[in-house]
Amino acid sequence: MFRASLKTQRSIPLMIIRLALGVVIFIHGVNMVFNTGIGATIDKFTASGFIVLVPFLVIITEFICPILMFVGFATRYCALLIGVVIASCAYFNHMQHGFFMNWTKNQSGEGYEYHILVVAMALALLIGGAGSLSIDVAISKQKKRFFAK
């Protein structure tokens, strides 16, 4: 079952999506851990009514999953977790601010357009897998070539 979930199309476009999503979410996770701080992040979530387990899962998802995605290991699982976290974030924190990001600073918060892009990228990886140059390709015992023809 696990090995079957690692099967992936040897695809350069999927690899590019995986790397881009991994970098963006990792930087977001690093900011949450080191700039905002784990304690402040937990306090913010619990003040909003979430149990303490939720911010821990969000921190792990945004810090560990991108590292795994960058090397292409368990990409579908990581993409699922990232998609759920970002979709939840959009629902709980950004839907009330409309679609657009707050580039002009004329609204009270950020919209959800960024979240749609992240969820779409996660969905592409969930469906297609890690793509080329990934550990998933090697583990699933596909041909030794990492690049598609």
Domain spans of the chain?
Answer: 7-139
Residue 48's pLDDT band (boundaries 50, 70, 90)?
Answer: confident
What is the mean pLDDT of the segment spanning 31-37?
93
pLDDT of residue 120: 98
What is the mean pLDDT of the segment spanning 18-36?
96
* pLDDT per position as a tens digit, 62-121: 999 999 999 999 999 999 999 999 999 899 888 888 888 877 778 778 888 999 999 999
pLDDT of residue 61: 96
pLDDT of residue 147: 54
Burial (Cβ within 10 Å: 0-12, 13-18, ≥19) of residue 139 = middle
pLDDT of residue 123: 98
118-121 long-range contacts, CB within 8 A, separation 24+: 118/21, 118/24, 118/25, 118/82, 118/83, 118/86, 119/83, 119/86, 119/87, 119/90, 121/17, 121/20, 121/21, 121/79
Residue 56's pLDDT band (boundaries 50, 70, 90)?
Answer: very high
pTM for the full predicted model: 0.86
